[in-house]
């Protein structure tokens, strides 16, 4: 960069104003709106690190980092293809999302942020799906197969006690 006024070629990055990180929600840390944000606002353009599928399986899956990865298409290098000798190479892997991308929690019922992968440029763009009010949590959808108990999920009455009186009765009987 040579000074002010010089035109720089590159991929535009973005982080919207009015986002705060709350540390102690029932879901851990989470991203919230500190002011009203209109629909279709780009909240964040997050670069990603695409993991080697073998390293992901052998190492990352056993670490906390695994909970901060998204599915990502895998494009083997020409060298890998040549070495594969007809063996089928993986077509998907995981990617670690940098920046705020890794801080968005999941919501099925109240998803208000969408995300879009840019495979060529190794980026994810997060955009509001509707008008957001100050104080709302900004949530994406992680899909169907969650690796944790969703705090927003309704308790299953057939698997558990009907009400808290029943719970107290059980505790009483054990004592």
Ligand X SMILES: C[S@@+](CC[C@H](N)C(=O)[O-])C[C@H]1O[C@@H](n2cnc3c(N)ncnc32)[C@H](O)[C@@H]1O
- Give the interface with ligand X as residue ranges (CB under 6 A): 27-30, 67-68, 102-103, 105-107, 148, 150-152
| Residue with the CB atom nearest ligand X in the bound state | 28
Nearer residue to ligand X within complex by CB, 102 or 127? 102
If the CB atoms of residues 106 and 117 are measured against ligand X, the closer one turns out to be: 106
- Taking the complex as a whole, how short is the minimal distance between the CB of residue 70 and ligand X, in angstroms? 9
Strand partners, 137: 32
Task: Locate the DSSP E strands across the chain.
Answer: 19-25, 28-33, 42-50, 69-73, 92-97, 105-106, 113-118, 123-128, 139-140
Choose between 59 and 148: whose C-beta lies nearer to ligand X. Answer: 148
| Minimum gap (Å) between residue 124 Cβ and ligand X | 12
Could you give the CA distance from residue 107 to residue 83 in angstroms, rounded to a whole number? 42
Separation of alpha carbons 135 and 161, rounded Å: 34
CB 131, min distance to ligand X, A: 22
CB of 5 to ligand X, least distance (A): 40
Q: What is the CA radius of gyration of the chain?
A: 22
């Amino acid at each position: 960069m040579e000074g002010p006024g010089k035109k720089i070629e590159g991929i535009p990055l973005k982080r919207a104003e009015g986002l705060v990180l709350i540390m102690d929600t029932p879901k851990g840390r989470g991203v919230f709106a500190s002011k009203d944000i209109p629909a279709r606002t780009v909240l964040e353009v997050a670069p990603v690190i695409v993991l080697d599928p073998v390293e992901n399986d052998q190492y990352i899956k056993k670490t906390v980092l695994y909970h901060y990865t998204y599915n990502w298409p895998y494009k083997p290098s020409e060298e890998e293809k040549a070495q594969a000798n007809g063996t089928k190479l993986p077509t998907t892997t995981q990617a670690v999302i940098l920046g705020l991308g890794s801080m968005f929690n999941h919501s099925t019922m109240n998803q208000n942020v969408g995300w879009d992968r840019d495979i060529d440029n190794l980026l994810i763009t997060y955009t509001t799906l509707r008008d957001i009010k100050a104080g709302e949590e900004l949530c994406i959808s992680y899909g169907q197969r969650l690796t944790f108990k969703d705090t927003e999920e309704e308790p299953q009455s057939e698997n558990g006690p009907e009400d808290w009186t029943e719970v107290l009765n059980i505790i009483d009987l054990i004592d």
